[in-house]
Amino acid sequence: MSYDASNPFAKILRGELPCFKLFEDEQTLSFMDIMPQADGHCLIIPKEPAETILQLSEASMVACIRTTHRIAHAVQKAMNCGGIQLIQFNGAIAGQTVHHVHFHVIPRYEKTPLAIHAAQLGDMDKIKRQAEAIVAAL
């Protein structure tokens, strides 16, 4: 597999596509998922170009986990959810729909099923408000 620099997350990193940014450091970027499976669903990506964790450097992997941990705490606080689900897919057969390494932080709520992965655009105004709440909780 070769990395496709035209994927949406690479475009977000280059500023060619917008996002609801939550957090950024030298190695990672976190932003809201615009096709959320639950209220407060967000993503963490490395700045390193890699399609799967098998192609990602150890340093970037550690940075992603550090950011995922930080974002999960903020999501828990901001969204007042009962739990947090962390998901990471590698390859289309495993469910990966954007071929740039990414980690999902998905709040879970009592008696609320998840929406289908990557199936429908969310309400952008609602996502923006959730992003603001998560940023305030960081």
Q: Encode pLDDT of 104-137 as tens digits.
A: 999 999 999 999 999 999 999 999 999 999 999 9
Q: Which domain holds residue 62?
A: 8-137
- Residues 6 or more apart whose Cβ sits within 8 Å of residue 59: 27
- Supply the residues annotated as catalytic: 102
Contact between residue 60 and residue 49 where contact means Cβ atoms under 8 Å apart: no
**What is the token pair recorded at 15?**
């500023």
What mean pLDDT is predicted for residues 90-100?
A: 96
Q: Is residue 66 part of a domain?
A: yes
- CA angle centred on 91, ends 53 and 123, rounded to 5°: 95
pLDDT band at 2, cuts 50/70/90? confident
- The model's pTM is 0.96
Q: Is residue 108 part of a domain?
A: yes
pLDDT above 90 covers what percent of the chain?
A: 97
Q: Is residue 43 part of a domain?
A: yes
The number of distinct structural domains making up the chain is: 1
Distance CA 133, CA 103 (A): 20
